[in-house]
Structure formats: structure tokens, C-alpha cells
Chains A and B, each alone.
Chain A
Amino acid sequence: MSADWTRESAARIADAVRRGETSAEEVARAHLGRVETAEPTVRAFLAVLKDSALESARAVDAKRRAGRPLGALAGVPVALKDNLQLEGVETTCASRILKGHVAAYDATAVRRLKDADAVFLGKTNLDEFAMGSSTENSAFQKTTNPWDPARVPGGSSGGSAAAVAARMAPLALGSDTGGSIRQPASFCGVVGLKPTYGRVSRYGLIAFASSLDQIGPFSRTVEDAALALSVVGGHDPLDTTSADRPAPAVGAAPKDLKGLRVGLPREYFIEGLDPEIAAAVRAAVDVLKSLGATVREVSLPHSKYALAAYYIIAPSEASSNLARYDGIRYGFVDRSAASLEEVYEATRAAFGPEVKRRIMLGTYALSSGYYDAYYAKAQRVRTLVAGDFKAAFRDVDVIAAPATPTPPFRFGEKTDDPVAMYLSDVFTIPSNLAGNASISIPCGLSSSGLPLGLQLIADHFGEETLFRAARAFESARPFPSLNG
């Protein structure tokens, strides 16, 4: 009997394909089979690219047969959040306004995956334009949490997180603007990395908030996250804000954590934090200590203002970024409109309520007369939040914190209360404002069997430190992957 490739890591699959132990086609078929079983319940994908996945898998196999060297992700099936441009494929951002929009080019991260011989399985569901924390804001479908179909997978990259958790793909890309990778990773019990701002090119990532957006991977092992970053990261001349430094290579598994200084931010263990999560994070920190790390308390005093500042800055940028959906060049347009004004009104009525809310918030915050009170002040808060981290990272190498204040919640639980939904990202937002590197890894199950996440935060370009701590933790406390 052959191996079940849906239980293997991306690193293991790529190695097996390169060595000829299996074929890319066999791996793709295994995952497509898993999609057939799991997808009717999970509904992670907006589009499954069955034919093109098999076609590109066969191309990888042909390349191997021709004796040509294969890339770092040879034959690895990858799911892409549907806000990443994949040439020739519909890219919707889970919005009616982009229904029918076929990507005219590849995102840089997508191009790099192609060049590494990855195989694209499909486009995954998200909150419309990545705005949300439960994927309930998708215009098209609800994605369920593979651990409990009554609960949300988190968001906005809920489809990518769920696809990896349900073993429909070993690897997926998402984007994280305020926690949209780490929060769903935590909810779905998988690894989710938000790289340092500038680490991965944003070219071809449909913008939500440009100064905060960052592409990152979902995987079931930390090594796979590092592997994915080594492929998609690094400078891109097409993105002026991408950092001019190479992505870190996947290092060897660490033996221990001797010399690693871990900080526990006092402001993160607050009222409203689920006691089971608080306990799980503290237990995880004890594991780090047992591996040789030292632990001390640190302070991030401006964290309490981060959420408010974020909800000025992100909507402000979004109000401008989403203005291009005007019905003139692509996507949805109401052909019955009789005047230019009507074209705009009818077209932009296609946005969902959360997107409209944020466009209005942002438009207001940038308005003449309000700019200084809102946008400019929020930027000053942002500077203070970043300063907190800089100060903390003089004393510690990595900060350990909860990824989310609660375990995965039920559908509809927070949809009527936007602020309650926004609070779901309270622990992840500060890293977006500061632009530093941050990862969420599973650290246990709640009493009701739901995954809980540990967030590790490092300074800018400190991904190697994150990987070291996370890999050591992972091997000390292996997390179960879902059966079925």
C-alpha cells in the first residue's frame, strides 16, 4: 500500500518527488481525493483547479524524467488565498465586485512558487477583501472549522487555514493585515507565519491596507513555513517596499533553546483573555524554559491603543485601495446604468456591508478637517507601538503571547457586533502596526477539543529566531493533525 501523501509535510513531499519515490501527479491526485471527501463540509475553496493542477503536476514529472533539476517545492500542492493573482484564473477576493475578474498576471509570490515547481490546487475562501476574522464576510460561501463544523475557521484567510488543517493541502498562502494568517491558523490548529513587513513582495496581492498587508504561509510544520518563506521571500524589484535582503534558508532543526531570551508581555494577559488560552500559553512558555530558554516579563504599554489606531489606518488605506473597483475596467459593472454617477453607485453597491463600513470609516478619517485628528494621530500611535517592541527586543529575542483572546467561536456569534469581531485580532494587530515578524503555532486543545494558538513575535527580520523557537517547541510538544 502506498503512503498517504495528505499526511506528509511539504518538505517530505518535495523530497520524495525529487527522488522519484512518488510522482507529483500521485501527490496531486491524493490531495484532490482528500478535497472530494472533506470539501463538502469544510468549503475552503472558491475554486478547485483540478485540471490545471494535474497538468502542472505532470509537467513537474516530465521535467524530472528529462533529468532537469526540480525546485524546492517539487510537486507540492499549494492552495492560494483568493486575493493572490494567478494568471488566467478568476481572482475574486470573495467579492461580487470582482466576480468574473480573471488575473492578467502572476503575483510575485505565486511566480516564485511556480518556479519552485509547486502545483496550485485552488483558490481559497476569505472574508471579502480580507476584511474580517471569521471568513463569514465572504460573498460566496461559509467555510467551516475542520475541528468543529459549527465553528468558524477564523479569518480573513479562513479558507487557506482550513484547507491545510483538513489535509487538503500541505501548504497554503494567505495574507495578514491585522492577524488574518495567525488568527485562523490558531483557530484551525496549524502553523501560520506573518513575515516581517517587506519580507515578501506584495506585488499581485490585492491590497487591503498596503502598509500592513503581508503574504505568508500556512502549514502543518514549522519547517514547512520556513521552506515556503525561503521560496516566496526576498527582494522584488516590482515592490518598492520589499526589503533588499535575501529570505532565510531553512536551517537545521534546533537541539535546544539555550541562550534564547523569551519575553511575556504583561499587557497581553488581560481580562477578556480566555483562561484556557492563558494557561496553554503559560504552559508553552514552560516548555520553552525546559528547552533552555530564559523567560522574563516585558511591557508593551501602548498595545491597548493598537486596535483603535489600526481601525483608522487600515480603513483609510482601504478606502483608497478599493476605489479602483469602479466598473470601468474589470469586474462587476451594472450595464443598466445611464450616467457615470449611476455606474459608480450601482457598481460599488456590489461591496458587502463590512467592506462598505470600512470604506466609509476610512473616507471619513482622511477627510479634510479630520485628517489630523484621526489618520495623523493614529500614525503617531503606530510609532509608539513600534517603539514598545523595539524597547522590548533590547531585552528579549522573542515575545510569547496568545494568538487570539478566545478559541474558535460559532457562526453568527459576532456578526452583529463589529467591535466584538474586531477584538478577535487584539493580540495580532500590534505586530502589523510595528511590521515585525510573528508566527502562530498550535499549543494545545481546549477542554472542548478546540485548537489553541501560541503567538511568537520577533524583531524585524527575526524569522530565523521564530523558526528556532517554534521548531523546538513543536518537537517537544507534537500537535495532532486531524484524521478522517
Chain B
Amino acid sequence: MKQYELVVGLEVHVQLASRTKLFCACPTDGFGAEPNSRICPVCTAQPGSLPVLNRRAVELAYRAALALGGDLAGTSVFARKNYFYPDLPKAYQISQYDQPFCTGARLEIRVKDAAPRTIGITRIHLEEDAGKLLHEVGAIKLDGSLVDFNRAGVPLIEIVSEPQIRASDEAYAYLTALKEVVSAVGASRCDMEKGEMRCDANVSVRPAGSDKFGTRAEIKNLNSFKNVKDAIDYEFRRQVQLLESGGRVVQETRLWSAETAETRSMRSKEEAHDYRYFPDPDLVPLTADAAFVASLKSSLPELPSARRARFSAELGLSAYDAEVLTGSLALADYFEKAAAAAPKGAVKTVANLIGTEFLGKLNSEGVEIDEAPVKAEGVGGLAAMVADGTVSSKLAKDMFAKMWETGADPKTVLAQVGGGQISDDKQVRDWVRQAVAANPKAAEDLKGGKQAAIGALVGAVMKLSKGKANPGLVNKLIKEAVQS
């Protein structure tokens, strides 16, 4: 069997986080609300009504585009996409066609241990959402269908990637990274369960090494990142099998079914709509004012990728730690706050405490960061104690558990567990002298270069100090003692 390469492009719709719809003043909070409780003459297409562009939605769209490194068009144009469907009140969707507001964006993705890849984003355009058809109410199947226009006119951006994705894992990583960036700049909440982020996948295969694209199928109804990954995997197998058995892939739209874990044909290319796009005469072209764009640019928060790079470069974190600690905006903020409360040398300890103890507790107890009983300053304080030798790393872990339980600060907890490490030079030196005297063989071996011999000496000191001697200091002083 030939080797095949997977080629995927993703079209992602993201709902902008504006309070009102794209072309009228109706609220966008209609999810789960009484049907048709968020409507007006404009979003139900009453005869004679006209759209008025929501500036806030444009601002959010621009923020997302800038965060994705896109070029904002000086002028972009709204176009009508004409087709009939009962959930589309005007029988056209106001979208953007040959003059979108953003082109040339990109997104860096990382799949586990592989080197990062940059996926091109061809274009981003603004458009309005359609309403929703209801075929049943609760468990009752309706005789006809009902339509709810709460969602009609809700602002969306469509983000169209280049066909540069080569694995289902990459598609998953692309969506993860996209959600991270778009939500980091406040453009969208990206809540998939509320339909705030939706994805269509264009999937094709070609013989490995070929530079021609195969015929693609567009996969719809992908309701989660996992659905996207599974559907791409399924579609890859289907298309390869088709080609291997002498068939050919036809250009069509296919629907993913999560229940049966397969795609099935929805409509062929011949049945595809001719949308008869033309510039919407009800809306003037959208111009991106240079000063406004500049002010937006300067107001963008640091993006996760930049933050990761800074965590590595400035704070000396490993790539792995930087990755873990920028997993969400809230976590990265928490870490920075904790690191600020600890001395510079304690950053690695802060990273360890948050990466293992803190995240472990969040996961096992299902708690959000802002409701965690241990505050960032507490982690910083605890790390400082480890750094100056007041407590050992092992003790710090126990203390963290206590802090989580009681909500107390590290000083209080330290007092409760009966004090910390002993780092008093004179006291430790005295214990070392006694240990060396009691274990001459081990001291001789260590002096002769047998490193393992140090264990017996450390053990003796710990016994003398009842486990409280600072292990770093103990090691250092034993080595000094045997050399002298």
C-alpha cells in the first residue's frame, strides 16, 4: 500500500464577546434563554429594517486578528451571502467575501515533543450568525419546526487556515492554540458547549511526496476538539481506502456523527449553493483607522507564546515548566504573582510547587484557580523558605498540603509543624565532626573518591539532628571536613 499524506485546512467560527449583536442592539446572551426573547425588527428582518455595525464587535475582531499576527485591511467590505433557509431571516447572511478585514495571520502550534510549527491563516472575516431550528421541545417531537432567532445576528469571526495541517494531532493543537490566543485577548470566551467556537474541517489526502492537493471533503458538525481529531482520522482512513480500492474522492460536504463515529455525505458539489455574493448596499465599507489600530495593538496583553518565551529567557524556566505554567492565562498570572513574592533564586522552587503540588490539588479537587485556598503569595513565601534553607523540599510539600487544608500562610504552618531546618553553621559543623569521628571508614572512602560513601555520613548527621539539619549545608560541610 502506498503512503498517503493527510492535508487539512480548518475553518473556525468564533463568537465575539460583545454584549450586543453585530447589526442591532439585541443582547447576545440568548443561549438557554426563552426562545425569541432577544429579537428586534433588524435581526428578524422585518421589511424596511437596516443593519448598523456594532463598533465593539469590530474592535474585538481586530484584537483577535492582531493577536494572530494578521494584517488589517485599510478597507474591508460587507457582502451578502444569499441562500434560503428558515433560520436565516433576511435569506442572506451579512458576511465578508473578497475584501475581508484581515489576511496573512498565523498561529504557532506544538504537538507534544515535536518542534513547533507555524500554520498560516489565510483570512479572517466578520459575519453574523443565523438562528436555530427546533424540531422537538423537550422529549416531544414536533409536527413541524420552530425557529428561535435569539442567535440570529450574533457576531462571529471566521478564521480560515491554510491547508497546512498534516495530522489530526496538529488540528487538535491548532484549535487549542487558537482558543488560547483568542480568549487571551478577550475577543471571545470560546465556550464550545455554548456554540461560541465551531469548526469545519477541509480534509484531503495525497500520495506522500506529491505537491498536488487531492479532492477535499468538507466535514461539518464538529462539536468538540476531540470530534475534530476523530473525524479527521476517520476521513483519512475513508479516503485512503477509497483510493486504494480504485475509487475516487468526490468534492462534497459531509456530516460527522459522534454517535456512530463516522462521516456521511450531506450534499455534493453539484448541489452546492451559488451564494451570489455582492457588496451589501446597506453598509458602508469598514475602514481601519491607523491610530485606532495602533492603540489596539498597544493594549493587547502579552500572548501565551510570548509569555512562555519570557518565562524561559528571563526567569530561567525549562521549556517544560514554561509550557505547563502558561497553560492558562489564570495559571500564568498566578505563577508570576508567586514568583514576585519569592527571591530571585527561588523561581525554580515556585515553578515546582505550582507545577506539581498546586496543579495536583486543582485537578484532584476540581477547583478553579481563583477559588484555591492557597494564594500565590503563600506559594512565594514557602519557596523563599526552601531557598534560604529554613525548610527542606520534602517538608515544603507537607507544608503545602497543610496550607491547602487550613488556608493558613507558610509562617503559621511552619510554627505548627515545629520549626524548620537547622542551617546554623556552627551547630551543623559540630554534628559533622561527630559523624566523621564515628565513621572513619566512610570518611576515608569519600576522601579516596568514592562518592557513595557520603550517604553514611549524611545519615549520621541527620540522626544527630533529628532530621532537621539543612541537607545542602550538611553535604557541603562533610566534603570540607574529609578534605581537611
Across-interface contacts of A340 in B (CB, < 8 A): 86
Partner of A241, one of B274, B277, B278, B282: B282
Contact at A323–B50, with CB atoms within 8 Å?
no
Do A104 and B82 form a contact, CB below 8 Å, given A211-B281, A371-B278? Answer: no
Find B47's partner among A91, A237, A317, A363 (CB 8 Å cutoff).
Answer: A91
B48 touches A368 (CB 8 A): no
Q: Which residue of B lies closest to A348 (CB)?
A: B84
Q: Which positions in B face A, CB cutoff 8 Å? A: 41, 44-53, 80, 82, 84, 86, 89-92, 147, 274, 276-278, 281-284
Query: Does A367 lie within 8 Å of B47, measured CB to CB?
Result: no
- The reply to whether A324 and B45 form a contact with Cβ atoms under 8 Å apart is yes
Which one of A202, A203, A363 has the highest number of Cβ atoms from chain B below 10 Å of its Cβ? A203
Q: Min CB distance, B143 to chain A, in Å?
A: 12
**What 5 A-B pairs are tightest by C-beta distance, nearest first?**
A323-B91, A211-B281, A366-B276, A210-B281, A206-B47
Q: Does A240 contact B (CB under 8 A)?
A: yes
**Chain B residues in 8 Å Cβ range of A101:** 47
CA distance in complex: A209, B281 (Å): 9
A240 close to B281 (CB less than 8 A): no
CB proximity of A108 to chain B, nearest CB, Å: 9
- Is the CB–CB distance between B276 and A320 below 8 Å? yes
Best-buried of B50, B84, B282 by chain A (most CB within 10 Å): B50
Q: How far is the CA of A98 from the CA of B50 in the complex (A)?
A: 18
Tell me the A169-225 residues at the B interface (CB within 8 Å): 202-207, 209-211
Contact with B along A331-372 (1 / 0, CB 8 A): 000000000100010000000000000000001001110010
B52 touches A205 (CB 8 A): no
Contact partners of A317 in chain B: CB under 8 A: 278, 281
Residues of A within 8 A of B46 (CB): 85, 103-105, 330
Q: Residues of B contacting A240 with CB < 8 Å?
A: 50-53, 282-284
Query: Which parts of A16-59 form the interface with B (CB within 8 Å)?
Result: none
A358 to chain B, nearest CB (A): 15
Residue of A nearest to B51 (CB): A240
Q: Does A93 contact B (CB under 8 A)?
A: yes
CA A85 – CA B52 in complex, angstroms? 18
How many chain-A residues does the 8 Å CB contact rule pick out?
Answer: 43
- CB of A150 closer than 8 Å to a CB of B: no
A107/B91 in contact, CB under 8 A: no
Min CB distance, A51 to chain B, in Å?
A: 24
Q: A residues within 8 A CB of B276? A: 319-320, 363, 366-368, 371
Known: A211-B281, A368-B276. A326 touches B86 (CB 8 A): yes
Instruction: Check B274 against A368 for contact (C-beta < 8 Å).
Output: yes
Contact partner, B48, options A205, A316, A320, A329, Cβ 8 Å: A205
**Which residues of A (76-111) have their CB < 8 Å from a CB of B?**
83-85, 91, 93, 98, 101, 103-105, 107
CB contacts (< 8 Å) of B53 on chain A: these are: 240
> Please, how many angstroms separate the alpha-carbon atoms of A366 and B277 in the complex?
7
Min C-beta distance of A325 to chain B, whole Å = 8
Interchain CB contact (< 8 A) of A85 among B48, B84, B284: B48
B50 touches A324 (CB 8 A): no
User: Residue on A with the closest CB to B147?
Assistant: A328
A238–B52 touching, CB < 8 Å: yes
Instruction: Bits for A286-319, please: 1 = Cβ < 8 Å to B, else 0.
Output: 0000000000000000000000000000001101
A330 to B45, CA, bound (A): 10
In the bound complex, residues from chain B placing their C-beta under 8 Å from that of A209 are 281
CA A205 to CA B49, docked complex, whole Å: 8
B52 and A329 within 8 A (CB): no
Q: How far is the CB of A434 from chain B (nearest CB, A)?
A: 15
Query: How far, in whole Å, are A210 and B281 apart by their CA atoms in the complex?
Result: 6
Residues A329 and B278 in contact in the complex (CB < 8 Å), given A203-B49, A323-B84, A340-B86: no
A320 touches B47 (CB 8 A): no
Closest to A202 in B: B50
Task: Return B274 CB to nearest CB of chain A, in Å.
Answer: 5
Kindly state whether residue A413 has any CB partner on chain B within 8 Å: no
Q: Which residues of the partner chain A approach B281 to less than 8 Å between Cβ atoms?
A: 209-211, 241, 317
The answer for the CA separation of A288 and B91 in the assembled complex, in Å, is 50
Which of B52, B82, B147, B282 touches A323 (beta carbons < 8 Å)? Answer: B82
Supply 18 further A-B pairs (C-beta < 8 A) apart from A207-B47, A319-B276.
A98-B47, A104-B41, A202-B50, A237-B52, A240-B50, A240-B51, A240-B52, A240-B282, A241-B283, A317-B278, A317-B281, A323-B84, A326-B91, A329-B89, A330-B47, A366-B82, A366-B277, A366-B278
B45: shortest Cβ distance to chain A, in Å?
5
Whether the pair B50, A239 counts as a contact (CB closer than 8 A) is yes
Chain A residues in contact with chain B, CB under 8 A?
A: 83-85, 91, 93, 98, 101, 103-105, 107, 202-207, 209-211, 237-241, 316-317, 319-320, 323-324, 326, 328-330, 340, 344, 363, 366-368, 371, 375
Q: B278 to A107, Cβ gap below 8 A?
A: no
Give CA–CA (A316, B82) in the complex, Å: 11
Q: Is the Cβ of B91 less than 8 Å from the Cβ of A324? A: yes
Write out the residue numbers on chain B whose beta carbons fall within 8 Å of the beta carbon of A210.
281-282
Contact B48 A323 (CB under 8 A): no
- Least CB distance from A112 to B in Å reads 15
Bound-state CA distance A241–B51 (Å) is 10
- Chain B contacts of A366 at CB under 8 A? 82, 276-278
**Complex Cα spacing A317 to B284, Å:** 15
Is A375 touching B278 in the complex (CB atoms < 8 A)?
yes
B144 to chain A, nearest CB (A): 10
- Asked whether, in the complex, the Cβ of A320 is within 8 Å of the Cβ of B274, the reply is no
Question: Chain A residue with minimal CB distance to B278?
Answer: A366
B274 touches A367 (CB 8 A): yes
Considering the chains assembled together, what is the distance between the CA atoms of A323 and B283 in angstroms? 18
| Contact sample, A vs B, 29 pairs, CB 8 Å cutoff | A85-B46, A105-B49, A202-B48, A202-B50, A203-B49, A206-B48, A207-B47, A210-B282, A238-B50, A240-B284, A241-B281, A241-B284, A316-B278, A319-B82, A320-B80, A320-B82, A320-B91, A323-B82, A323-B84, A323-B90, A324-B45, A324-B47, A326-B84, A326-B91, A344-B84, A366-B276, A368-B274, A371-B276, A375-B278
List, in ascending order, chain B residues with CB within 8 A of A83's CB. 48
B85, closest chain A residue (CB): A340
Q: How far is the CB of B87 from chain A (nearest CB, A)?
A: 9
Question: In the bound complex, what is the Cα–Cα distance between A326 and B277 (angstroms)?
Answer: 19
A320's partner among B41, B52, B92 (CB-CB below 8 A) is B92
In the bound complex, what is the Cα–Cα distance between A101 and B48 (angstroms)?
12
Task: Please tell me if the beta carbons of B49 and A329 are within 8 angstroms of each other in the complex.
Answer: no
Chain A residue contacts of B86, Cβ below 8 A: 326, 328, 340
Nearest B residue (CB) for A364: B276
Give the residues in chain A near B48, CB-CB below 8 Å. Answer: 83-85, 107, 202-207
Q: Which residues of A contact B44 (CB under 8 A)?
A: 329
Which residues of B have CB within 8 Å of A363?
276
Q: Which residues of A contact B47 (CB under 8 A)?
A: 85, 91, 93, 98, 101, 206-207, 324, 330
Name the distance in Å between A97's Cβ and chain B's nearest Cβ. Answer: 10
Residue of B nearest to A105 (CB): B41
Please determine whether B49 and A204 come into contact, CB atoms closer than 8 angstroms: yes
Least CB distance, A90 to chain B, in whole angstroms = 12
Do A323 and B92 contact each other (CB < 8 Å), given the known contacts A85-B48, A105-B46, A330-B46?
A: yes
Chain A neighbourhood of B49, CB < 8 A: 105, 203-204
Chain A residues whose C-beta falls within 8 Å of the C-beta of B51 in the assembled complex: 240
Nearest CB of A to B53, in Å: 7
Which residues of chain B have C-beta atoms less than 8 A from A320's C-beta?
A: 80, 82, 91-92, 276, 278
CA distance A244 to B195 in the complex (A): 38
Closest residue on chain B to residue A317 by CB atoms: B281
CA distance A205 to B46 in the complex (A): 11
Q: Bound state CA distance, A319 and B90, in angstroms?
A: 12
> Min CB distance, B391 to chain A, in Å?
65
* Smallest CB separation, B149 vs chain A (Å): 9
Find chain B residues with CB under 8 A from A237 CB.
52
Nearest-neighbour CB distance to chain B for A355, whole angstroms, equals: 14
- Most chain A beta-carbon contacts within 10 A, residue among B46, B53, B80, B92: B46
- Of chain A, the residue at the smallest CB distance from B45 is A324
Bound Cα distance A209, B278 (Å): 13
CB distance from B304 to the nearest CB of A (A): 37
